[in-house]
Amino acid sequence: MLLNKMIEAKNEIIQLKFYNSRTKQLDLFVHNPNTPINMYTCGPTVYDRVHLGNLKTFLWSDFVVQYLNTIGYKTNHIMNITDIDDKIISRLPEQTYESLIQYTSYYTEKFLDDISKLGIKNYTKKNIHKVTDNTDSMEQMVLNLIEKDFAYETSDGSVYFDSTKIIDNPFYVQNDIEGYESGRDIIRSNDIRNPRDFVLWKVKTDRTVVWGKKLTKGTFGWDTECCVLCDKLLGKVNIKMGGSDLKSKHHCNEISQAESLHPNRIYGDYWIHFGFLNFGGDKMSKSIGNVLRLDDIKYNYYLVRMYLLTKSYKNDVDYVDDEILLLKKDFINFHMLYNKLFNKFYRTHKNDKFNYSGDIIVYNNILEIISDNFNTFDALKELVKYVDKFMKVYLTEEYANKILDELNKVNNLFNILDENLLEINKETTDFINQREELRKLKQFEKTDLMREELKKTFIFEDENTGFSLIKKF
Ligand SMILES: [Zn+2]
């Protein structure tokens, strides 16, 4: 009871607004804080490693979940793993179901590996769902759509959604026939009724890896899987997320299916579409060949994470190496201040009037800034200003702890602190303590030499107000 009151009070302060693709405007997010927000992100097709452009989408959808949790909401967030797909099946070493599972499990693990390296923490095996575990439900949804006359079978037994039944779909673009037949659906039946009809079930006579208990043996259209998982695991969907390239076809088709079967249930009150990551002037894409995978990046992954969080979630943005380098100093300073406070490397002035005693708040300001359309760019600028302010001041223990507390809260949201860089082993700690003793004895020649020694392994800074060090990277 008390907790609910606190959450309500908190939400009175944090009023989140963001661009809702469904209404095509900046909307205030309205949700009862006592019930979880049902959220869904369209996941990867596991036929290959994901690239940084894909990862930007997953990083951002994870951040949205984290932010909502931070401001007091409960979330129920799931994602699909597309492990049935023509691209996958054409790459299998053997045309068997076992081979499919082996192949896709490998790339699913790689995906989980990549997202964890990038500090994405709200995706675990618990909330990702494979299509292969849901094939009966998918077939059933196709059958339901036929039964309710929203879909029809062609002469070969494939099933299409009847696009004349589409009403009031926010992502439907009139006369957009070109390219409507997505790459995943290149073999179309001859007797489809309308060029905008999209495939729900593809009959495959030349394959051994096929599904279908009641339908003619074949495989699934891509657009059905997310609808099925949402219906089965969430019921009502509050926030739907995915890459902006999915909007006009995949998401349009999802809404058509879901809202046909449940006309009184809006499929996603809020839709968040994440912009592309361009590299070398083009959208990062396997077909163009300008992809960067996480392994190709020579920078610290938490620095890359911080960099991607300075970018707009919604617009197409460029990946530029030099921009990452510009951010490196701020990234280092954040770690330096953290270690200084955590390890008590700061100094307190004998005369209390020289010790800092002003405002230490940053966390609430950051939450407030982000509430304006996920403005992480300005929020991170606020953090950088804050870190700079406390790098060179005398601190009492009380203030140092308060500031550290703020940094921990901020990091719980951004997750940009690389703990590996903070580690200081026993040997180094002893060395530092020894140096501090010599400094008190004013043996500066010796302490200078020791500083140079430390600088071989660490980024090390020494001020009157204290010192700090982190591992070189
Ligand atoms: Zn989807």
How many helices (H) does the chain have, and how many strands (E)?
Answer: 15, 16
What's the start-to-end Cα distance of the chain, in Å? 47
Q: Pairing relation of β-strands 198-203 and 218-220?
A: antiparallel
Statement: residue 187 has pLDDT above 50 = yes
Block residue for tokens 């140092």: 400
Single out the residue of 416, 424, 401 nearest to residue 332, CA to CA. Answer: 416
Q: In sequence order, which residues have a C-beta less than 8 Å from that of residue 374 and are 6 or more positions away? A: 18, 63, 64, 67, 313, 314
Ligand 1 centre and the CA of 224: distance in Å?
Answer: 8
Q: What is the pLDDT of residues 175-184, one digit of tens each?
A: 666 655 544 5
Rounded to the nearest whole angstrom, what is the distance from the C-alpha of residue 362 to the centroid of ligand 1? 37
Copy the structure tokens of residue 322: 């030099």
| Confidence bin at 280 (pLDDT 50/70/90) | confident
Q: What is the pLDDT of residue 284?
A: 83
pLDDT for the residue 192: 87
Residue 323 has pLDDT above 70, yes or no: yes
Residue 9: pLDDT above 80? no
Domain spanning 19-318, CATH architecture: 3-Layer(aba) Sandwich (3.40)
- Distance of alpha carbon 303 from alpha carbon 415, whole angstroms: 10
The 10s digit of each residue's pLDDT in 339-365 is: 999 999 999 999 999 999 999 999 999
Interval between CA 63 and ligand 1 midpoint (Å): 19
Q: What is the pLDDT of residue 3?
A: 46
Could you tell me the distance, in angstroms and rounded to a whole number, from the CA of residue 72 to the centre of ligand 1?
27
346 C-beta neighbours (distance < 10 Å), count? 26
Q: Output the CA 130–ligand 1 centroid distance in Å.
A: 12
- What's the 71 CA to ligand 1 centre distance in angstroms? 27
| Closest C-alpha to 269, from 29, 16, 17 | 29
pLDDT at 5 over 60: no
pLDDT > 70? residue 2: no
Give CB contacts under 8 A, 24+ apart, made by 211-215.
Answer: 211/84, 211/135, 211/139, 212/139, 213/136, 213/139, 214/139, 214/143, 215/139, 215/142, 215/143, 215/157, 215/159
Distance of CA 212 from the midpoint of ligand 1 (Å) = 21
- Could you tell me which of 254, 196, 245, 252 has the C-alpha nearest to residue 225? 254
Q: Which amino acid is at 213?
A: K
Higher pLDDT, 2 or 340: 340
Rounded distance from Cα 251 to ligand 1 centre (Å): 6
The kind and range of the H/E element at 468 are strand 466-471
- The residue-averaged pLDDT of 86-115 equals 95
pLDDT, residue 52, reads 94
Whether pLDDT at 259 is above 90: yes
Ligand 1 mean position, distance from CA 42 (Å): 4
How many angstroms separate the alpha carbon of residue 446 from the centre of ligand 1?
63
Alpha helix (H) ranges present in 118-237? 135-147, 222-229
Q: How far apart are CA 74 and CA 198, in angstroms?
A: 35
Average pLDDT score over residue span 219-237: 95
pLDDT at 4 over 70: no
Going by C-alpha positions, the residue among 355, 466, 335, 341 that lies closest to residue 404 is 341
Tens of pLDDT, residues 367-387 = 999 999 999 999 999 999 999
Is residue 293's pLDDT more than 80? Answer: yes
Average of per-residue pLDDT values in the chain: 92
Average pLDDT over residues 4-24: 74
The residue extents of the domains of the chain are: 19-318, 321-471
Q: Please give the share of the chain, as a percent, with pLDDT higher than 90.
A: 83
pTM to 2 decimal places: 0.94
- Window from 247-256, 328-337, 388-397 with minimum mean pLDDT: 247-256
CA–centroid distance, 80 to ligand 1, in Å, is: 8
Question: From ligand 1's centre to the CA of 304, what distance in Å?
Answer: 26
Tell me what the mean pLDDT of segment 304-320 comes to: 96
Please tell me which residue, 107 or 176, carries the higher pLDDT value: 107
How much is the pLDDT for 6? 47
Q: How far is the CA of 332 from the centre of ligand 1 (A)?
A: 38
Q: How far apart are CA 159 and CA 294, in angstroms?
A: 39
The model's confidence at residue 248, banded by pLDDT at 50, 70 and 90, is: confident
The Å distance, Cα 456 to ligand 1 centre, comes to 50
Give the integer Cα–Cα distance in Å for 325 and 331: 10
